[in-house]
Structures are given as C-alpha cells and as structure tokens.
C-alpha cells in the first residue's frame, strides 16, 4: 500500500481531476490519499466528501483553522506514516505535477535502494521574486548541510516509511518550511537521495483564484509572502542548529 499525502487549500477546480489522475497511474501500488484540507473556504470539502462516497481511497483531515502549508505538510506526513505503507509520497495538492511522472518516481523508489527520491521541478515560469526565494532556499540548505540540492524546497518526494518517520521526528516543531528542512536534514544524515527531474505545470486552479499567499499582483510579492519569508528565515536557526548537531 502506498500513502500519498496532499495538503490542499481552495482547490475546488482541480482536486478531483488530480486525484483521479493519481488513482489511475498509481493503481498498481494500492494508493491511499491523505488529504489535509487547510480550512478551505470554497467547495473543496464537499468535493472531497463526494469522492470519498464514490469509494475513492481517501483519508480526509480538515484543519479547524488555517495552519499554512507547513503545518498541513507535517500533519499529512504524520497521518501517512501511521498507515504503515510500503512508501510515503509527499506532493502538493494543487496538481502542479503529472500523475505518470509521480508513478515513475514510486517505481524507481521501489526498485532501488534510495532512501528518498526527490522530484526536481523543471519548466517553471516563476516571477523574479520567486526565483530569488528559490535561490535563497538552495543557499540555506548548502550552508547548513554542506551539500547542494537542485530543488531545495521541492514538495514532491517518495520516502521509505522509516525515513519518513525519522524526518517527522527530527523536523523542529512549528517549522514553517518542512520541505526545506527535509532537504537539509536528509543531506546532513548522508541519506541515499536521488534527484529526478520532473515537469512542473501551473496549479489546476481557476483564473483569479487566490492561493495561500493572497497574491494580488503578478509582478510583486504579496505582504503575506514577504512576512512568511522573513519568519521562515528566522525559524531556520533551529533547523541549522539541529543539522549541525548531526553532521
């Protein structure tokens, strides 16, 4: 059985298509989808309930308040580990990846001795400020762990279950950037990591739908994104200290 953890927020336009796509391509691995709804304000909850009633193998977790992406990732990871699967897949629920490529990463993980398979995103068309943030995340991982990551904040990983449980126990409580922390911790522990290039598509949302960052203008970062980036940088000290303690 495969456990796929998917944090979602206001994904009514694309979550059904994405889950059906994943079900199709991952069917040989008996998937169960752990969907963490971060207090969506659209019809995402009713879409998920309908899919569950149609026998989609879902574990639906709804946050009673908006925890943000990091909190939802950690909650989903914990629930996925509890299922005791053969592999844990971490993937954002906005549909930016193709199901067939996710299935190929799972196949590679099962056929290899890699602890973690990371999907490194290609074909992204991010604005300038996102590219700066991405560069900054790579610097943080290199500075803390001493190894480079091609896509330090990738949301797409396939992990052996004991590795997933270990990551969960070592990411500092309340860490707003668990994907980034996993990149640093796994490299500091010298785990076997294979980075595989995958295509990245725009999220499967309706035009004008706001994400967590409440982006009003495409050319400039929102205040919420700026605040988050600053808070994440401040919180990184805890990750950095821990990484140095295990190097």
- Domains held by the chain: number: 1
Q: Looking at residue 122, which CATH number applies to its domain?
A: 3.90.550.10
- Show the CA angle centred on residue 51, arms to residues 178 and 106, nearest 5°: 45
Return the pLDDT at 222.
84
**80 vs 74: CA distance, rounded Å:** 10
In this prediction, residue 124 carries a pLDDT of 82
pLDDT at 247: 67
Other residues' Cβ atoms within 10 Å of the Cβ of residue 231: 13
What are the E-state strand segments in 30-123? 31-37, 58-62, 87-90, 116-122
Residue 149's domain comprises 2-246
Q: Are strands 116-122 and 58-62 parallel, antiparallel or unpaired?
A: unpaired
pLDDT band at 209 (very low <50, low <70, confident <90, very high): low
Split at pLDDT 50, 70, 90, the class of 80 is very high
Distance between the two ends of the chain, CA-based, in angstroms? 33
| Whether the predicted pLDDT of 217 surpasses 90 | no
């Amino acid at each position: 059985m495969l456990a796929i953890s998917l944090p979602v927020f206001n994904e009514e336009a694309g979550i059904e298509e994405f889950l059906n796509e994943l079900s199709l391509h991952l069917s040989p691995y008996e998937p169960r989808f752990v969907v963490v709804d971060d207090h969506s304000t659209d019809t995402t909850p009713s879409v998920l309930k309908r899919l569950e009633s149609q026998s989609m193998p879902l574990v639906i977790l709804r946050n009673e308040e908006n925890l943000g992406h990091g909190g939802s990732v950690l909650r989903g990871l914990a629930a996925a580990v509890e299922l005791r699967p053969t592999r844990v897949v971490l993937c954002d629920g906005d549909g930016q990846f193709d199901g067939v490529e996710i299935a190929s990463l799972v196949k590679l993980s099962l056929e290899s001795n890699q602890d973690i398979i990371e999907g490194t995103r290609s074909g992204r068309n991010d604005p300038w400020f996102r590219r700066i943030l991405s560069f900054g995340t790579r610097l943080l991982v290199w500075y803390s762990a001493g190894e480079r990551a091609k896509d330090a904040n990738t949301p797409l990983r396939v992990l052996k279950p004991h590795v997933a449980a270990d990551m969960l126990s070592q990411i500092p409580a309340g860490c707003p950037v668990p994907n980034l922390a996993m990149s640093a911790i796994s490299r500091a522990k010298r785990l076997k990591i294979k980075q595989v290039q995958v295509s990245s598509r725009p999220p499967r949302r309706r035009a004008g739908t706001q994400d967590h960052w409440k982006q009003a203008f495409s050319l400039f970062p929102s205040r919420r994104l700026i605040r988050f980036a600053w808070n994440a940088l401040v919180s990184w000290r805890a990750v950095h200290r821990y990484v140095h303690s295990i190097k």
